[in-house]
Amino acid sequence: MRRRAARRGHAAALALSGVQVRVEGLEHLPERPPDALPHTSAVLVVANHASYVDSILLTAVLPPRFGYAAMRELAGAALLGAPLRRLGAVFVERGDAAGGVEDTAVLEAHAARRRTAGDLPEGTFRRAPGLLPFKLGAFVVAAHTGRRIIPVTLAGTRSLLRDGEWLPRRCEIVITVGAPIVSAEHDWDAALALRAAARSAILASVAEPDAEIARHAAGTLAGV
């Protein structure tokens, strides 16, 4: 009920702001609640992260059964902490490796209860365009629990509200829900393969450069 209310509120806010949002591929999401589905039919949504408004957009357009992973720092935030907890957010560590291992176990427990979840595996965003490397946690969870990965591309949100800015710009947002990605295996290699496939699907739709390739190229030049 809370997520449905949040979805309506966020959709209304977007409409009032004049932001044009086009959504493609919603047919790739299962229509029935996750409890009515076999365990292997549960899904985990992963999306690129380019703006402060990404979570608002995802809440506005995706079915209300989706909960999300959020930065652990937000759990103690005065205005955001309590609402996020009441919406069922899972707070995870984005920077510390040891904390990330613990959080993967928490997300796996969340997935084992057939809760449908979403994650932003870049973990952060920046002003310059480019898809950052994906953290592995969500894909380890998907491999271990047999979940399908649904890649979601947010195109245009970086221009809508850039890092360091608080006034939105008028632009069109296109949200593309990709085809499910699943692995028959459940090991480390399966997690790596899921991450690579999801990132490739998002990179193909986002119309931004691959920041991971640019970073490797810069490191190679620096070592020359």
CB 54 within 8 A of CB 120: yes
Exposed e or buried b per residue across 92-111, where buried means at least 16 C-beta atoms within 10 angstroms of its C-beta = bbbeeeeebeebbeebbebb
CB 119 within 8 A of CB 111: no
For residue 66, pLDDT over 60 is answered with yes
Q: Which of 45, 20, 7, 6 is nearest to 159 (CA)?
A: 20
Q: Which two tokens stand for residue 16?
A: 């009032």
Q: Which of 172, 179, 173 is nearest to 25 (CA)?
A: 179
Whole-angstrom distance, CA of residue 217 vs CA of residue 192: 22
Class of domain 2-28+38-223: alpha beta
Predicted model pTM: 0.79
Whole-angstrom distance, CA of residue 17 vs CA of residue 168: 9
pLDDT band at 192 (very low <50, low <70, confident <90, very high): very high
46-50, 93-97, 105-109 — most confident range: 46-50
pLDDT of residue 39: 45
Average pLDDT over residues 103-132: 73
CB 72 within 8 A of CB 141: no
pLDDT of residue 56: 79
Exposed e or buried b per residue across 175-209, where buried means at least 16 C-beta atoms within 10 angstroms of its C-beta = bbbbeebbbeeeeeebbebbbebbbebbbebbebe
